[in-house]
Every structure is written in C-alpha cells, then in structure tokens.
Structure 1
C-alpha cells in the first residue's frame, strides 16, 4: 500500500493554521473505512449528534443534524487502525515542528444524510482546551461538484469573511487549529461521510 501523504502539513499549520492534503490515504483504505461506516449505519450504531459538553450536551437539530459514532481507539478495526497509525505519524511530525505537545487523538465517524448540516461553530469548549488540532478525513470517493457538504472555513476569527470552501473528496485530510477557526458544514445534497477528530494535549483543568 502506498505511504500516506503528509509532507508539508506541519509547515502549513505553522504558516497559516490549516492544511488540506488530498490522498492522505489511498483509495482502497478510504473505501474500506467507508464500507465499514455504511454497515454500522445500516446496523443502527450511529446516534444523533449533540452540541455542548458534559451535562450540557443536548440535541439541537437547528444547529447540527448529522449522526455520529465515536471510535474506541483501544478497539479499532484493521481499517481504522491503519488510519490511526497515519495520524500518529502526523502527530509526531507536528510535535517536532511546533512543540505543541499533542499526546493523543479522539474522534468519531460522521454521517450527513441529504439535507443535513452543521452551522458555524468552533471546536474548543469554554471549560476545556485539550483539543488543539482538528482533523477531518473524508470518505466520499464518488463526491461530485454540486453534492454539497463542503467545509466552510472562516479565516479571520469570528468574522464571516474571508472564508474558503473545501470539498469533501474521498481521501482528503483537512486539519486546522481548533481554537482559531470557526467553520461549518454546508448542507449535504447526497450522503457525506467523514472521520472527524482532534489531537489533544494533557488536561490543564483544576477542580
């Protein structure tokens, strides 16, 4: 299997805070992940996504209407573990270049049926800053222009302009600083699959 493509990700993170890498995983690996996700969807394993954290988590379909399935990094499938190994290599490279101190990764499968979306938001909770770097791997090998579901990344803090729209093409990895970029998922017109996750640092919370 060809190696993953991660050259330059750390430089892009340093220079502009985000990176978009086509063909991060080769097509057979992407299709294996997508096939697993579809089977788990058909088995009813996904749940409605919620917003907030802890006791404040709640379903809010006017904000986000996707379905998710959290991954257990201690019980990954062969296809999921291949992706996890690629992420771990990327984590090491970013740590060496930036001294961010990323220690682990958490993530979930995300499925957007036609008509679903995720409104503008930021990935860091007010009471927890462990999430440092967002990662999104797209699992849509047949995505076409007009299928919707683009990631809109706002480039100037909370301002609505400028922004860029990134296509959810299969095998593409998008990664960005979690506390810096507001973003949203535009309405999907066909099924949209991804693995969304976060590289994290150790907790600094005091109780």
Structure 2
C-alpha cells in the first residue's frame, strides 16, 4: 500500500491495482490439488488461461478507474495488499518507453556517456521501461515518422496505456527500480521522449522482440 499511496498522494500519479496472480497454495490450471509451484509459475488471476501479461494488467477495476484519491487507494490495497501497482500512463501522468532488458542496459550506457539526465527506470526480468514526460499520440507520430525503422521490440506507453510499478510481483518475476526516483522528491523529474528515443531505437534495432505484449 505504501508504494501506491506515494505515487497517488505525493506524486499525483493515477494508480489502480493490477489483477495479480493466482492465490499461493491454490489449485492452478491443469494442476492436481496439493501440487506446488514457484511464484513465477503461478498463472494470472484473470479468466484468460493464455494471458500474456500474467498478474500485470487491469481487470477489476478497469483502467479508467485509476485514481489519486487517498481513500480509494487505501480501500483497494486494504482489500488486496499484494496487488500489483499499475500506473495509468498519459494525460498529466508520466508516459514510458519500454524495450528488452539487454537492449535497455545498452541504451542507458549510451545515454550516460552522453551525460543525459534520466528519470526513473522500471525493470522486470525481461523488459525495462524509461519514464518520460507526458506526450500525445500526435507528438509521438511526428517523432517516429522520420525514423527509417522503429523496432517492434520498442513499445510506447502513452494515453490509454499502463505500466506496472515496483514493488509488484508478476508472472515474469519481481518488478524493481533500476533507477529509483530521488528520495524525498516532490515529484520525480522526467525527460522529454525526444531526448531518449534515438538511443532507444538504436539499441532496440538488434534486440529480439521478446517480453510480453504490453498495451500502448
């Protein structure tokens, strides 16, 4: 609950609980009662047996319910304390650009050598996401139109999208901060997407299209 409250009340980021994973110790799909599986093998709690983002997407409540209201956030996580924290991206909230973890590590090294100031970076075992200032689809379209190639492994989380935040457990493992927001900051500083997209496109060009299919 603390992480959700920090995002909602201190940073003014709209959040909502993710669907989460099947209950620990419960009978999973295709598993006999009493079977034991690790957290990473637990399926999504949603009805889709082939869910590609297990635990890490909205379900009930839906994405449009995302809120910064303290009472609502306390109620949500009071009832489901282990629920993943989802950020509803776009609008006045941060957007993000995500890419496979190996490519992201290369891109961050390039940006560091250029002495580029970066904002928070969210990491899962398969993908990293760089938080950026809000952008519109029109701005993004103009930015990408001039690129010779935009790899499908590079994904943009803008208006109408979402991003799972630390500390959340998902079907791919623990979500963590690769680069955490500065402690005590009123609201994390975010770079413009224009400042980072060239390095991310370059790093993603040779990366396999791995990871889960996340909504833009």
Structure label with greater radius of gyration: 2
TM-score normalised according to structure 1 size = 0.28
Structure whose residues are more often helix by fraction: 2
Structure whose residues are more often strand by fraction: 1
